[in-house]
Amino acid sequence: MICRLVVRGALLLVILLASAPVLLRAFPLQRHGLTALFDEPGCAPPCFLGIHPGVTDITEALNDLQAHAWVKGWTPSAEQVEGLRQSSGPPILRWLWNGMQPGFIAAPQATLSFNRENGRVRSFGTLATRIPLGEILAWYGQPQTGFVEYILQDNGAFALAHVFILPSAHLTVISYTPCPLTREHLWQTPVRIEIHNTIGEYSRMSEYPDDLDRLLEMGQNRYC
């Protein structure tokens, strides 16, 4: 009897573990409201807030942001945008959220950059989110291109910088995991995302490492 219970328990555990990727794939987007980012009607990637990097004119983007239900205000003002096109400063538009934005957005503000020559939006700036890295991986699968490295943070502690691209979604996904450097902690780390019409401009992008556990163990022993 006890043996049967043990066998049944082991089988149940195997079934649950085998089903976990399916369950993760089925639920995370709804829980975090990611459909507002990845499945916005009429806004095929790369697109966010109705703005298409590489296509939308900066003046049109400004008008879209002004009318958007999530946006409180922006800097510079509409009158200053034309001046940005002529100035030598960074061609960046910054806006504040009004509290109506989806819960997965962590930062109180966001940015986009535009091409001064043609006036089109180039990309959205890095957007801090509350989305765990593990949910991105469960949804999109193993990345093919990226890099990992250990960096020294401003607080004097080391963290694992984990960067990869998702070409189909036109996303670069970035996370910084502090100690403890375990796979579980890595999966739970909130990510930052960049939305663009190219694959990103990180010169260190290469084939995604296949020895992540070894890199984590090395970092845990050396930096934690």
Residues 155-168 pLDDT 10s: 999 999 999 988 87
Final residue in a domain of this structure, among 99, 125, 151: 125
Assigned domain for 22 exists: no
Which uninterrupted H or E stretch holds 71?
strand 71-75
Same-domain pairing of 206 and 144: yes
Same-domain pairing of 54 and 141: no
Same-domain pairing of 130 and 219: yes
Assigned domain for 91 exists: yes
Are 76 and 92 spatial neighbours (Cβ–Cβ below 8 Å)? no
Of the CA atoms within 13 Å of residue 38, those in its CB half-sphere come to 17
Q: Is the pLDDT of residue 1 over 50?
A: no
Same-domain pairing of 96 and 151: no
Q: What is the mean pLDDT of residues 20-31?
A: 42
Same-domain pairing of 74 and 163: no
Distance CA 194, CA 80 (A): 25
Q: What does the pLDDT read at residue 91?
A: 83
pLDDT tens, position by position, 132-154:
999 888 888 888 888 889 999 99
Q: What does the pLDDT read at residue 139?
A: 83
Give 99's contacts (C-beta < 8 A, 6+ positions apart): 72
Q: What is the mean pLDDT of residues 85-98?
A: 78
> In which band, very low, low, confident or very high, does the pLDDT at 13 lie, cut at 50, 70 and 90?
very low
CA Rg value for the chain: 21
pLDDT tens, position by position, 174-209:
999 999 999 999 999 999 998 887 654 555 567 788
Final residue in a domain of this structure, among 125, 158, 182: 125
| Tally of domains within the chain | 2
Are 92 and 111 spatial neighbours (Cβ–Cβ below 8 Å)? yes
Bridge pairing between strands 109-114 and 127-132? unpaired
- The parent domain of residue 169 ranges over 126-224
Same-domain pairing of 38 and 118: yes
Average model confidence (pLDDT) for the chain? 77
Assigned domain for 89 exists: yes
Q: Is the pLDDT of residue 37 over 80?
A: no
Q: Is the pLDDT of residue 23 over 50?
A: no
Q: Is the pLDDT of residue 20 over 60?
A: no
Give 174's contacts (C-beta < 8 A, 6+ positions apart): 126, 161, 162, 163, 191, 192, 193, 194
Q: What is the mean pLDDT of residues 70-88?
A: 66
> In which band, very low, low, confident or very high, does the pLDDT at 22 lie, cut at 50, 70 and 90?
very low
Q: What does the pLDDT read at residue 83?
A: 61
Assigned domain for 74 exists: yes
Assigned domain for 185 exists: yes
pLDDT tens, position by position, 118-130:
888 988 889 999 9
Tokens of 7: 């066998």
Assigned domain for 156 exists: yes
Q: Is the pLDDT of residue 41 over 90?
A: no
